[in-house]
Amino acid sequence: MGRVLSEVTDPWCLREGESVGLLRGHPWRRFVVLGDSVAEGLCEPVEGYSDLQWADRIAAELRAVQPELAYLNLGRRGLRAYEVRATQLAAALAWRPDLALVVCGGNDAFRSGYDPDAVDTELSAMITALQDAGADVITVGMFDVSHSPAVPPALRAGLGERMRLLSTHTGRLAERLGTLHVHLTDHPAGVDPSLYSSDGRHGSARSDAIATAETLRVLGARLGAPVDQGR
């Protein structure tokens, strides 16, 4: 039998005191999140891991260093990229953030008619608008949920191809626009079934813990902190 992991022993999660070291002196005071269910937070509980979802965890770690941090999560489940832009961008801009997490496109990629260029257009519009308003923007290449045991075998190859295409497009967009990009798609833990929920669409508490660690390491690298990429 393999060892039973917890957040303390998981080689890909934050180590004790790591977050404070990564975020020490960070400049952000207003953190906004735009997106779909991944942004809203629908992770499935896993024993030994925090139930606090990904975006809330990022906010909590930022706030641990800067207690005055304000946080607004606009994420709503089920939205496609164009719906995120149409229903959340104006409110996000009006809130005057200096740090924004934009995560969407997964609901587009779940469809066989996924149009990567159309999603790029929506992401680009949101990113540039937030940057023009003075915010640093975090983008994400998501875990490939086709590795979930709950995905029917007949659908796995097509879904995996679309999820990787979404990740590739988002990565190129991030490079072009200069976002803080978190690439999870090729993470060594990404093939582990424990990262995925039983609905075949979302992650588990373990995936949120790993995503939090990777996000904070990207933020730390921007701040010039030494970054340790896992045990």
Average pLDDT over residues 82-94: 98
Task: Enter the tokens of residue 45.
Answer: 């509980």
- Which domains are seen in the chain, by residue range? 18-223 (3.40.50.1110)
Quickly list H helices, 66-133. Answer: 81-94, 106-109, 116-132
If you ran DSSP here, which 8-state letter would residue 19 be given? H
Digit-coded pLDDT (tens) for 165-207: 999 999 999 999 999 999 999 999 999 988 998 887 788 999 9
Average pLDDT rounded to a whole number, residues 58-74: 97
Two structure tokens written together for 197 = 């929920």
Strands (E), 110-170: 136-141
pTM above 0.85, yes or no: yes
Confidence check: pLDDT of 90 > 60: yes
Judge whether 104 and 134 are in contact, CB under 8 Å.
Answer: no
Residue with tokens 């039973």: 4
Q: Which pLDDT value is given to residue 9?
A: 94
pLDDT computed for residue 231 by the predictor? 46
